[in-house]
Amino acid sequence: MTQSPTIVFDLDGTLVDTAPDLISALNFVLEREGLPPMPLQSARNLIGAGARKLIERGLESEGRVMTVKEIDRLTTDFIDYYASHIAVTSRPFEGLERALDDLTENGCRLAVCTNKLEFLSKRLLDELGLSGRFAAICGADTFGVAKPDPAILKQTVARAGGTLSSTIMVGDAGTDIGVARRAGVPVIGVSFGYTDVPIAELKPDLLINHMRDLPAAVGELNSRFLSV
């Protein structure tokens, strides 16, 4: 007998292709500093550790060094711009909504655990009509810790009403694999997200190439790890 698990998703690069709007916001602040805009394709893999880290990586790629106070200012400006342009071109990955439907119909509880700020995460999912699907939407500021610290995943699961022993993580990058390993839960990697290290090299328990494959992957891990 198996139990229906809590499925916890990363957001950027896992649920939603947010790169165009994030890089647009990055280029907004870079260009104001007299720096050239970053091409979308090369900048995609800078995403994943929050706004400040994205800006730091963008500056580093241009060989620009700034003070902590200057980066604070750019981060505030980035967040203000991004909040107002959060879903201009961001869209759910193909097959996502059908996969979420299937998981929900099979009794799964769904949650989001992201290093994006909570209010930005909720605003994005609201704009895309997805918020209501998730029992909890938690960001890097929700509990004061970010992935891969296992506390953020543990508290997200608790807020969603789930139990860690019946949780599966889904993500696209090292922070997702890391938080799952540290929390002791199985993890599904997606190959279409944002990562500077190929997701296969990070050795998730299963790897999918399309959201249509997610329900079957959840079913396999549910049987392999969560059987009771």
User: Which residue do the tokens 């769904």 mark?
Assistant: 110
Give catalytic residue positions.
10
Residues 6+ apart with CB under 8 A from 199: 172, 173, 177, 189, 190, 191, 193, 207
DSSP letters for 120-144: HHHHHHHHTT-GGG-SEEE-TTTSS
As a whole number of angstroms, the distance between CA 189 and CA 14 comes to 9
Q: Residue 206: name the closest of 155, 154, 171 by CA.
A: 171
Torsions phi, psi of 190, nearest 5? -110, 140
138: phi then psi, degrees, rounded to nearest 5: -125, 135
The total of other beta-carbon atoms located within 10 Å of residue 32's CB is 11
Q: Residue 30 to residues 25, 27, 56, 62, 190: CA-CA distances in angstroms?
A: 9, 5, 11, 9, 30
